[in-house]
Chain A
Amino acid sequence: MRQRNPRNPLSSSTFLYTILALLAISILTWLFITNDKQEYYTKTDYLLGTYVTVRVSGDKTSPVLLANAAFKEIERIDEKYGNNKGIVEELNASKGKWIEIDQETAFLLKSAIEVSKNTGGAFDFTLYPIIKLWGFDDINNEKRVPKKTEIGKALLKVSYENVEISPDGNKVRLLNGAQIDLSGIAKGYAVDMAIMKIKSIDEKATGFIDAGGDIGIIGPKYGNRPWVIGIRHPRSESADKVIDYVYMYDGSIATSGDYERFFEVDGIRYHHIFDPATGYPANNGVISSTVIHKSAMLADAYATAAFVLGDSPGVTFFPRYGALAFLVREDLSTFKNKGFEVYLSK
């Protein structure tokens, strides 16, 4: 037996207290460091055909006020550019006549045309006749595989070149029976505009807006940390499984995947991202495409284009337009544009 010596500094009791004191100090320090006064307010609502989440913290303004302002802006865009209402409905029923448009609509249409041009037509917002044929224009519609002749006929109407904007930008007309669908661009546009709205009220506000997976960063987490965004694993039973993480201080990210909306006939999966060249679901070896861009609207549009372009002809030219792509192939191997890797580490 060891003899008890109360003065021995290494006695059990002293040892224990030293450890406890150190623990207490480290916990208090940790609490002090992490106990940031900034608080995030999160609000979720069903808009733009998806769940929209705004997480925001203001510098001088109440985050509740900021979130409400953001939602008001998103609601406005949903009303204005949603399917089967507003300007989209008016244009699709216009039968080739000139329709007057405001500056905002001209900007949106011009942006869409530009992405179409830049991607050689891989992104095309005039696919509506094809989408309708397959039944993807409405969640409640019956999905079916159309006949080849039906697709060929509908395809005649499809081309972004059928959208003509007058030189002064005040009017637009749809040629050759073209019909448009702005849902591929309006969701991201709403995110961009809502962020602008928040910034106009409180320049130093931070947070992010997530519109069904189109995510725009308002500002870094607590002003100095990146937001951690998981890229959904395209082949997983659980919806929260992630194939990789990106760390974002600013900018936007969007993903297109064949798992989002699809139906199966005779074991073949027919998904909702169509190839404007064929009128069939795009099938170029890619099952998920993610794009980082300064603008959420363009991230979304380029993500769709990347899915269609797939492995060949591929997306190596994307960085020229400020877009960085991350593609997942059928065998779950990945392709990244040069530069994407900087987002994969903090």
Chain B
Amino acid sequence: MKLFTRSDMILIALLIAIMLLISYNAPYRSTEAEVYVQGKAYMKIDLSKDATYNIANHMIVEVLDGKIRAQESDCPEKLCVKQGWISSPEVPIVCLPNKILIKIIGKLSDEAMDAMTR
């Protein structure tokens, strides 16, 4: 059977669009991302180190300036790649075909700094 129908695509695209809109709102300070493959914890990624990682031979993930993105993926639609950079825990990178989920942990949204005393 077909995994994706046309309406599936539209739905996914819509959802991604909403996620992107939300993620545009504020920059977040985060330190670590968790990667889940097939629902199981696969690895942790330090977001303070600029580097690239191979996720289960399906996805290449890039870290730059505390942000993370799927640089390459072998999934058909590459929606995870198109999702671009994330730096907030509210918006994980999701690759449905490979069942890969990348989620920033440690700090919640209102952990973002409001002001600085100096």
Contact = CB atoms under 8 A, between A and B. Distances in A.
Nearest to A16: B8
A6 B110 CA distance: 45
Which of B22, B115, B116, B118 has the largest number of chain A CB atoms within 10 A? B118
Interface stretch (B12-20, B55-63, B72-80): B12-20
A221 B115 CA distance: 12
Interface in A212-265: 212-215, 221, 225-232, 239-240, 242, 245, 253-255, 257, 260
Given A12-B3, A20-B12, A27-B15, A229 B116 contact: yes
Given A4-B1, A225-B110, A228-B110, A23 B116 contact: no
A24 B1 contact: no
Contact of B114 (A34, A228, A240, A254): A228
Contact of B117 (A13, A53, A254): A254
A134 interface: no
Interface in A191-229: 208, 210, 212-215, 221, 225-229
A11 interface: yes
A23 B11 CA distance: 11
B18 A242 contact: no
Interface of B: 1, 3-5, 8, 11-12, 15, 18-19, 22, 90, 96, 109-118
A32 interface: no
A11 B19 CA distance: 26
B19 to A, nearest CB: 7
A30 B90 contact: yes
A171 B8 CA distance: 80
Contacts of B11: 20
B96 A227 contact: no
Contact of A19 (B5, B96, B109): B96
18 contacts: A4-B1, A13-B1, A16-B96, A19-B96, A20-B11, A20-B12, A30-B90, A34-B109, A215-B117, A221-B110, A229-B116, A230-B113, A230-B115, A230-B117, A232-B117, A245-B113, A254-B117, A255-B117
Nearest to B110: A225
Interface size class for chain A?
Answer: 35 or more
Contacts of A239: 118
B5 to A, nearest CB: 7
Contacts of A20: 8, 11-12, 15
A228 B118 contact: no
Given A13-B1, A23-B15, A27-B18, A260 B115 contact: no
A290 interface: yes
A135 to B, nearest CB: 22
Nearest to B14: A24
A208 B113 CA distance: 13
Given A27-B18, A229-B114, A242-B116, 6 more contacts: A13-B5, A13-B8, A27-B19, A221-B114, A245-B113, A253-B117
B110 A229 contact: no
A227 B114 contact: yes
Contacts of B90: 30
A208 B110 contact: no
A257 B118 contact: yes
Contacts of B110: 221, 225-226, 228
A229 B115 CA distance: 5
A50 B61 CA distance: 42
A17 B18 CA distance: 17
Nearest to A4: B1
Contacts of B4: 16
A94 to B, nearest CB: 35
A17 B114 CA distance: 38
A134 B45 CA distance: 49
